[in-house]
A and B are shown apart, each in its own frame.
Chain A
Amino acid sequence: MRPTMAQSSASDETGDRREAAAEAIVRDLERRLRILESADEERFGEFGALDWTVSVLAFLVAPLVLVWWGAP
């Protein structure tokens, strides 16, 4: 069944709105990428050599030692 003129007009309007929304999302994505790319690293906090050492010792080495120690 062919769409009526009113249906066709509503469909065009919905399509236009969807296209506008897609364009707005891409523009917003690009804005976000620019901000995230150029943001100062300090803003995201530090995770340095000390953090890596603590993490490896506490969450990798210590569990392995614990399993070895508790083995039957």
Chain B
Amino acid sequence: MSSPSAGTAEIVRQESLFGRLPLLPEEREYGTLGAHATCFAYAVATWCFMFGGYAARLVGAVQGTICLVAGSVLGVFLTTMAPSLACQRYGLEQIDYCKTAFGQRGSKIILIFYVVNQVGWTGLILVMFGNGLRNILRALGYRPGTWVVGAGVALGLWLTYLLVTRGVHLLNVSNAFIAPSLVVMTVVMFTMLLWKHGWHEIALARPLRPLADPWLNYMIVFEWGVAAGFSWWAGVGFLARNTGTRRNAVYPEILQLGLGMALVCCVSLFSSLVVHTDDPTEWMVPIGGMVMGIMALVFVVLANISTSAVAIFTCGLALRHIGLLRSRPWWHLVLWALVACVPFVFWPEQLYDMGNAFLAYNGTMYAPISGILFADLVFLRRGRLNVWDIFDDDPRGEYHYSRGFNWPALVSVLIGEVLYLYLFDPLALTAHPVFRWATASLPACIVPGLVYWGWMAALRRGTPAARGILAPAPGAGPGAAVPGEFALAGAAPAPARRLRRPNI
């Protein structure tokens, strides 16, 4: 039996590895190669096959490639810069970082978006799992009913629960096997696609269900590309806090999560166009043949469980921010997250068909948040955070704002969401004329950022208390940052300080 002190040391170690304690430079795992490899492993997930299928509904191969590549690189760039630079510098977990702009309690609202994002993707991916099972049975000569898909989702939920509650090690082993295999499978499928059909046929293939206006089709797919990039908001801080240098935090994320993901999406786009189906589990047998196709299907089915497990794992960690759930056993948190996916058991097809609207939802939610965090970190704080007050619930803390909420940031998010929905209806696919040249995500990112910047700058020039919002507490920051460089030149040692009301 271990001694109490050994038990305590183990709890602290677990908290630093899997909890919210900021990571010290020597604890970070990723160098340049490691950061690229990890980001690529994250990027090549099964949802790439879904994105490509959605794009194939509206545009052909060339336009789809342009929209997916340009959109996702742009989206990842806008969403990654602020969280990457801040989480890398201070070793912070993403929701903790959000407190700097949204407040100690306001960040919990952002947490809701985060959880909805993870739960939604898990549900969609598990429907893909169910579809995969049904198509394997079909390829083997059976005639399964549609109930198989819902049953598949239920099975997927159970397998995800087992994987996540059995610990990180099993999850890491699973991912170490799944990610490289998924890359190999994608390359093999792309080679077979080119060999069987050739680029000329792929380039000439007609979109599946285009709208009447070609320009609108093009801009909607670009919008989906940008939204797919914004979807990474939930994961960029986790990756960045594990990197040693700022460049390793930024460049691998944009190149792998943006460009790498888009290229994998393109394989799905081409296959969907040639086979005339937007369901990734339906084109694998026609493209790969009976043996290779079924192998690919089995593999994607397994990969779906691995991807779901990662999403639910991060969701469970995020739920630890909620006071009521903080001390609950891990399996309780996992169960809470999975219960939210139960509707996918009963209405799998209906919810899966709304997947492109859910993709747009990510733009709705994360575009304003990204713009606000960027304006806050780059223009208002010049890259410098008061890291002590992030973990201090004391009302005198810099990030307490008004009873824990920073209303300029929260109102700006609302403005961004209203603006998004005014410009583009993701369910009906109708758009305002402005959408045709500006998309919806970009204005929904830039406008809230500018509103927030202007509002906070006005407060800064107002009352002394408001000035305190932006000026770090004495001894809290080590020195002035060089504008635009995120460097704290001339750093002086800070006086000893204790947390007044720790919120870890």
| A residues lining the B interface (CB < 8 Å) | 17, 20-21, 24-26, 28-30, 32-41, 43-49, 51-52, 55, 59-60, 62-64, 66-67, 69-72
28 A/B residue pairs, CB under 8 Å, sorted by A: A20-B4, A21-B8, A25-B12, A25-B504, A26-B499, A26-B502, A28-B21, A29-B21, A32-B21, A33-B387, A37-B494, A40-B491, A41-B487, A41-B489, A44-B244, A44-B245, A45-B244, A45-B247, A46-B245, A47-B246, A47-B250, A51-B250, A69-B66, A70-B66, A70-B67, A71-B215, A71-B218, A72-B63
0 or 1 for each of B52-94: is its CB under 8 Å from A? (1 = yes): 0000000000110011011101101110010001001111000
Q: How far, in angstroms, from A62 to B71 measured CA to CA in the complex?
A: 11
Of the candidates A20, A24, A37, A64, the one whose C-beta lies within 8 Å of that of B74 is A64
Q: A37-B476, A46-B487, A52-B484 known; 20 other A-B pairs, CB under 8 Å?
A: A21-B8, A21-B11, A21-B12, A33-B22, A33-B388, A34-B497, A37-B387, A39-B25, A40-B491, A45-B244, A45-B247, A45-B248, A59-B73, A59-B74, A59-B76, A59-B258, A64-B70, A67-B66, A72-B215, A72-B218
Q: Given the known A-B contacts A47-B246, A55-B250, are A28 and B484 also in contact in the complex, defined by CB atoms under 8 Å?
A: no
Q: Looking at chain B's contact residues, is the secondary structure mostly helix, strand, loop, or mixed? A: helix
- A44, A69, A70: the one contacting B246 at CB < 8 Å is A44
- Size bracket, chain B contacts: 35 or more
Q: For the complex, what is the distance from the CA of A66 to the CA of B90, rounded to whole Å? A: 35
- Alpha-carbon gap, A51 to B74, bound state (A): 16
Which B residues lie at the A interface, using CB under 8 A? 4, 7-9, 11-12, 15-16, 21-22, 24-25, 62-63, 66-67, 69-71, 73-74, 76-78, 81, 85, 88-91, 214-215, 217-218, 222, 244-248, 250, 254, 258, 387-388, 391, 476-478, 484-489, 491, 493-494, 496-499, 502, 504
- Which of A36, A60, A67 is in CB contact (< 8 Å) with B222? A67
Task: Write out the residue numbers on chain A whose beta carbons fall within 8 Å of the beta carbon of B477.
Answer: 37
Known contacts A25-B11, A51-B247, A72-B215, A60 near B74 by CB under 8 Å: yes
**Chain A residues whose C-beta falls within 8 Å of the C-beta of B484 in the assembled complex:** 48-49, 52
CB pair A47 B215 closer than 8 Å = no
Query: Closest residue of chain B to A49, judged by CB?
Result: B484
In the complex, are the beta carbons of B15 and A25 less than 8 A apart? yes
Chain A residues near B215: list those with CB within 8 A.
Answer: 71-72
Q: Are A24 and B11 touching (Cβ within 8 A)?
A: yes
B254 contacts A55, C-beta separation under 8 Å? yes
- Residues of chain B lying within 8 A (CB to CB) of residue A29: 21-22, 391, 499, 502, 504
A47–B128 Cα distance when bound, in Å, is: 40
**Interfacial chain B residues near A66, Cβ < 8 Å:** 66, 69-70
Query: Contacting A26 at CB < 8 Å: which of B248, B250, B478, B504?
Result: B504
Q: Are A32 and B250 in contact (CB under 8 A)?
A: no
- The complex places the Cα of A57 from the Cα of B489 at a distance, in Å, of 27
CB contacts (< 8 Å) of B387 on chain A: these are 33, 36-37
